[in-house]
Amino acid sequence: LKNKVDTRTLRAWGEEIETNDNPRLVDMMEFLKRRCQTIERIESRVIEKTERTNKDGDQRGKGAVVTGTKPNSSARSEVIKKTTLTTALESGKCYFCNGNHLIYFCEKFLALFIPDRIKEVK
């Protein structure tokens, strides 16, 4: 069972059993249950924080500056990355045939042999 868990969980289990000289399978199962609950709580907080950051970014608008607050640089770069990605996906212009789709959905481009695709991209 130890081979099936990640390194961090195994390390935490090692710390847990230091207090118990004879751990049982039931002890490990209970530990894993608590560990899963902890990880799920942490992940839900990260998701909530990301959603709030995205919502804040949407409310600010592109290029707008909110006075009185200074988000940390990683939060700012995250919003910028997501805005850039969204813009790129929404634009949907094929550079190969000038159609209203992205190049990796272009039937004409995909019909080319791979060496020809590489030449076109260069």
What are the domain boundaries of the chain? 7-52, 85-121
What pLDDT sits at residue 77?
Answer: 54
What pLDDT sits at residue 110?
Answer: 86
- Per-residue pLDDT tens for 57-71? 655 555 544 444 445
Alpha-carbon gap, residue 38 to 43, rounded angstroms: 9
Q: What is the DSSP string of the chain?
A: -GGGS-HHHHHHHHHHHTT-SS--HHHHHHHHHHHHHHHHHHHHHHHHHHHHHHHHHHHH-TT---TT----HHHHHHHHHHHHHHHHHHH---TTT--SS-GGG-HHHHHS-HHHHHHHH-
Confidence of residue 17 (pLDDT cuts 50, 70, 90): confident
What pLDDT sits at residue 56?
Answer: 67
What pLDDT sits at residue 120?
Answer: 85
Share of the chain above pLDDT 90, in %: 1
Average pLDDT over residues 76-83: 51
What pLDDT sits at residue 64?
Answer: 47
Interacting residues of 88 by C-beta distance below 8 A, sequence separation 6+: none
Average pLDDT over residues 81-108: 69
- 80 versus 39: the higher-pLDDT residue is 39
